[in-house]
Amino acid sequence: MLIGKNLSKSYRSKIALDNVSIQVAPGEICGLLGRNGAGKTTLFKILTGLIRADSGEIILQSPRSKSIGAIIERPGLYNYLNAYDNLKIFAGIQGAKADPDSIRDYLLKVGLPTDRKDPVGNFSLGMKQRLGIAIALVNNPGCLILDEPFSGLDPFGVASLIDLILSLAQYEKIAILLSSHLMGELSRCCHSLYIMDNGKIVNSGTTKHLISKYIYSYSILANNIESSEVLKKYQTVFGVNEVKVVCNSGEITGLLNELLSEGVQVTACIPDLTLEQLIKGTL
């Protein structure tokens, strides 16, 4: 369990964090959403002890030998060393097992090949993220903090990283806190969300609750949707391959049923929930 209570941090020019409280339970994946500069990284640095908060309290309840593992901003790796040597260094300095078999296990856990001997400078960003997670997971931490883990990854990389995060929470019961300014990725894997703006938590709740409460439009992909009579009752914007329909979460099931009964072949329905909607929701 990771708890941050009433955390505040000010710099000469601005207030970076203003009375922020956050909580993540074991096995829970919690997302922190916010624009660039909202204070997400500052909060993570405080939670991991890299910087000191001006006030507030951090409680780490974990029976494990290491309470927290993290990647802040980007995976900091020795680019001139291979994955094996990177893990050997990071495992060694914290007194974890650094023998070849243990290092092989660390690599396999995050789905990295065990036979690559070239420097990690040659690795793709996705592989570096995985190696960063492997390092963060050394010594079996109770909590994992990932700052913008999807940044720069292609869709395959994102999907694969989401699978890894889900399995770590589900099978290893790690409390996972991750940040992003992209709504889509977080809504796919997080049980709960905190929304940050200008150093404050402006909204929070379970992901399902937030989506149902603040969703105002859906993008629908379907064949022959242009001829639909049902859609005329709604405000719509026709795109190249999709139609954006303004409706709330209570209306979408009825709309889809009506479209299907009209003979429209719906292939996808994507909620258009944006960060701005979540921020404006309580402002």
Partner 1 sequence: MMKSLFSAELLKIVKQSKTYYALGAIILIELLILLIAYYQGSTVLDLLLESLKQSFYFEGSLLNGNLIMYIVLNSLWFNVPLILMIITSGFLTDEYKDGTLQSVMLQAVKKKQFILVKYAMAILFTILVITFMMLTTFAFAYAIFGKGDLIVYINTLNFFESGDAFRRICFSFISGAIAMIFYNVTSMTLAILIKDSSKTWLVSALFLVITNLLLKVDFGNASFNNLFFPKLIDTWQQLFVYELDWTRIIGNNFLLILYSLLMVLIGTYIFNKKDIG
How many other β-carbons are positioned within 10 Å of the β-carbon of residue 184? 14
**Is residue 262 part of the contact set for partner 1 (CB under 8 A)?**
no
Q: Is residue 69 part of the contact set for partner 1 (CB under 8 A)?
A: yes
Binding characters for partner 1, 191-210, by CB under 8 A (x = yes):
--------------------
**Which H, E and C letters describe 100-161, residue by residue?**
HHHHHHHHHHCCCCCCCCCEHHHCCHHHHHHHHHHHHHCCCCCEEEECCCCCCCCHHHHHHH
**The binder of partner 1 chosen from 95, 254, 263, 281 (CB under 8 A):** 95
Which of 180, 185, 182, 145 is closest to 44 using CA atoms?
145
Q: Encoding tokens for residue 217?
A: 């439009």
Compute the half-sphere exposure of residue 211: CA atoms within 13 Å on the CB side of its CA. 16
Beta carbon nearer to partner 1, 21 or 82: 82
How remote is the C-alpha of 261 from its chain's centroid?
37
Decide: is 92 part of the binding site for partner 1 (CB under 8 A).
yes
Q: Does 59 bind partner 1 (CB under 8 A)?
A: no
User: Any contact of residue 88 with partner 1 (CB under 8 A)?
Assistant: yes
| Look-up of token digits 């339970």 | 25
Q: Would you give the binding string for partner 1 spanning residues 117-156, x where CB under 8 A is met?
A: ---------------x--xx-xx-----------------
Residue 106 binds partner 1 (CB under 8 A): no
75, 126, 142, 149: residue in contact with partner 1 (rule CB under 8 A): 75
Q: Which helix H or strand E contains 189, and what residues bound it?
A: helix 183-189
Our CB check for partner 1 shows the closer of 22 and 136 to be 136
Which residues contribute to the site for partner 1 (CB under 8 A)?
Answer: 45, 48-52, 66, 68-81, 85, 88-90, 92-95, 132, 135-136, 138-139
